Amino acid sequence: MAIKSFINRILGNGSISESSTNDTSGESSGPTLGDVGMDKLKAVIAEVTGAFPLFEKAGFEVEEVQVEIGLAPKLMPRFRHVKTIAPAEQEALIAEAGNKKLVKFMLISLFKSLKMNNLINDPKLDFHAIEIDLTAVPSVRGIFKAVSNSDKIVRLGNHE
């Protein structure tokens, strides 16, 4: 509680009240920074999970979703590309997202991240998934994994 109280004082945000350190009743006088962060995280989770059917139309399956709770909570959905759609269909799906900026950002990121497929040219590695870190500073990660039976694949090239 001391850290939340300290952060609330630093922020000086009137909408987030400070928990009293002298209050022995156990009741706080209003929402704390943690409450506000958790509410925001819940809203982001609801928006993202509500858009799963749209991501599937876009050709991506949700493989996994990680939730990290801390000072800067984050949501990390992982997608696997299963179907390529035409650019016109991509634009239509982005438009279908309407005013949901987060969902639009995710769709655009997924479509653009397919170009990562060609970043690593190794016969033993395959482009496996795309992970989007939804934090204050979002990022997109391409995940490459060893192909099945990679121990039987021989790399050809310069073996000095």
Higher pLDDT, 21 or 100: 100
Question: Looking at beta carbons, which pairs linking 25-28 to residues 24 or more positions away fall under 8 Å?
Answer: none
Residues with Cβ < 8 Å from 30, sequence gap 6 or more? 16, 17
- Residue boundaries of the structural domains of the chain: 60-150
Res 16: pLDDT: 36
| Averaged pLDDT for residues 93-116 | 94
Top pLDDT among 45 and 153 is at 45
Q: What does the pLDDT read at residue 12?
A: 44
Give the model confidence (pLDDT) of 29-82 as tens digits.
555 555 667 788 899 999 999 999 999 999 999 999 999 988 888 899 999 999
Confidence of residue 153 (pLDDT cuts 50, 70, 90): low
